[in-house]
Chains A and B, each alone.
Chain A
Amino acid sequence: MPAAHFSACPDCDLLLNRALPQIGSTAHCPRCGCLLHRPRTDSVERTLALSIAGLLLLFPANFLPLVGIKVLGHEKDGTLWTGVMTLFNEHQWAVAILVFLSSILLPFINIVLCLLVSGHLHHNRRHRYLTHWLYWLQHLEEWAMLEVYCLGIIVACVKLSAMAELQFGLGLYAFVGLLFTNALLTSNLDGHLFWQRIAQLNGQHYEN
């Protein structure tokens, strides 16, 4: 049986005739309902544009104050970094590292990987680590948790609103922008297309 005409469902391993849905429609597994394929318009170009936008937003979101509070004349600003630093100084190393990874380092790595992969594909340029980048991108994605952090900010603000005066900093707007860019990035990156383009660049015959 020639494998090239078939694909398998990632969630239930059902052997399927390869579906090639139109842009705007989706292919689902008939047995378990798993989303198999959702093609996107200009996936490579959009990923490239969005990852550049994300990279630009990353710096203000990281270093400008997100929220500031005022209690009895004392003022204090909080950035993404101050939380990590304070936890570190309180010897909560494990928690500090966890927060650092999921809110600072991994979102950054994800955007850089998106930029590298889509940039190379857009210019049809080969690179010996291209497959590794896409591989790591797919595996690290779920550990970046900006949207959960955003909810954390909301809950913290509600808790503090009873005892202190709050000010929202410029960093918060950049952070929300980054959040939306990230969500668009995830939904516009078409994994199927990316792997296919990489295979073409490497001169391999491959269809998934």
Chain B
Amino acid sequence: MKINTALAQGLVRCHSCGFLGKRDIRLTKCPLCASPLHGRQPHSVQKTLAYLLSAYLLYIPANIFPIMTVTKLGAGEPHTIIGGIIALINSDMLPIALLVLVASILVPLLKLIGISLLLLYVQRGWTGDAYRWTVMYRIISFVGRWSMLDIFMISILVALVDMGSISEVLAGPAATAFGAVVVLTMLAAKSFDPRLIWDNQNKP
């Protein structure tokens, strides 16, 4: 069944202001907001793939290296992301441990896998339930920012617990890697064009 999309009718929607115009080689910029007009985001799959691969690479150091070092009375103890969660469980703070587990481990991992599947769906020309895949895309775009939780928590701990040898919290190398993973997965979600999911349905 052929569905009536704007592109099929020779119309292009401005991504910023919603202006709908005739597709024309001379009309490269939106007459209202002056942002570039494209039928689909240009090189959406390639850009998303590039961000995604960088995020996969940085996900490894983000989980191997310590994200912070906690010093108590002179003895320093490095914590990885998982180590921090285990420490929370050991001190009987299960709800907070679960929150950090979801924000720092599950959300980044599910985002990486989810965006990979979306790329496969588009590249392989799958035609499964496009509605569900769009919902998944929306969830991925929405939850991404919440992974910054660990980074913000560290920036607060670092500022407050700063008493030399008595007790001190220092950020570790994994903090940079983890922050980069969050930003890169957000960029990957932003450069993915969900209309490509629906274009699969229209292909013969």
Number of interface residues of B (CB under 8 A): 69
Number of A-B residue pairs having CB atoms within 8 Å of each other in the complex: 208
Q: Cα distance A160–B146 when bound, in Å?
A: 21
B153 within 8 A of A: yes
Cβ-defined contact, A8 with B160, below 8 A: no
B22 within 8 A of A: yes
A6 within 8 A of B: yes
Picked from A69, A95, A151, the residue with its CB within 8 Å of the CB of B149 is A151
Tell me the interface secondary structure of chain B in the complex: helix
Chain B residue contacts of A7, Cβ below 8 A: 13, 18, 20
Chain B residue contacts of A32, Cβ below 8 A: 130-131, 134, 194, 198
Seen from chain A, the residues whose Cβ lies within 8 Å of a Cβ on chain B are 1, 3, 6-8, 10-15, 31-34, 66-69, 71-72, 74, 76, 78-79, 82-87, 90, 92, 94-96, 98-99, 102-103, 131-132, 134-135, 138-139, 142, 145, 148-149, 151-153, 155-156, 158-160, 162-164, 191-192, 195, 198-199, 202, 204, 206, 208
B33 within 8 A of A: yes
Name which residue of chain A comes closest to B73, CB basis: A72
* Known contacts A71-B163, A90-B170; 13 further A-B pairs (Cβ under 8 A): A7-B13, A11-B194, A72-B166, A74-B166, A82-B159, A83-B155, A90-B158, A99-B155, A102-B148, A148-B146, A152-B152, A158-B93, A204-B31
Cβ-defined contact, B134 with A12, below 8 A: yes
Cβ-defined contact, B149 with A148, below 8 A: yes
Picked from B103, B131, B159, B180, the residue with its CB within 8 Å of the CB of A33 is B131
Known contacts A98-B179, A131-B32; is-contact A160 B148 (Cβ 8 Å)? no
Query: Which B residues, 130 to 150, have Cβ-Cβ distances below 8 Å to chain A?
Result: 130-131, 134-135, 138, 145-146, 148-150
Picked from B20, B31, B130, B155, the residue with its CB within 8 Å of the CB of A6 is B20
Known contacts A12-B198, A148-B148; is-contact A95 B176 (Cβ 8 Å)? yes
Cβ-defined contact, A76 with B160, below 8 A: yes
Cβ-defined contact, A135 with B180, below 8 A: no
B46 within 8 A of A: no
Binds A, one of B3-11, B47-55, B112-120: B3-11
B93 to chain A, nearest CB (A): 6
Q: Cα distance A105–B38 when bound, in Å?
A: 31
B21 within 8 A of A: yes
Chain A residue contacts of B122, Cβ below 8 A: none
Chain A residue contacts of B91, Cβ below 8 A: 162
Chain A residue contacts of B15, Cβ below 8 A: 10
Known contacts A11-B195, A90-B170; is-contact A156 B18 (Cβ 8 Å)? no
Cβ-defined contact, A92 with B176, below 8 A: yes
Name which residue of chain B comes closest to A194, CB basis: B17
Q: Cα distance A138–B155 when bound, in Å?
A: 27
Query: Which B residues, 168 to 195, have Cβ-Cβ distances below 8 Å to chain A?
Result: 170-171, 175-176, 179-180, 183, 186, 190, 194-195
Chain A residue contacts of B134, Cβ below 8 A: 11-12, 32-34
Q: Cα distance A191–B18 when bound, in Å?
A: 9
Known contacts A12-B195, A142-B145, A158-B96; is-contact A153 B156 (Cβ 8 Å)? yes
Chain A residue contacts of B8, Cβ below 8 A: 15
Picked from A6, A78, A94, A191, the residue with its CB within 8 Å of the CB of B176 is A94
B64 within 8 A of A: no
B159 to chain A, nearest CB (A): 4
Cβ-defined contact, B5 with A67, below 8 A: no
Chain A residue contacts of B35, Cβ below 8 A: 135
Cβ-defined contact, A135 with B16, below 8 A: yes
Cβ-defined contact, A208 with B19, below 8 A: yes
A75 to chain B, nearest CB (A): 10
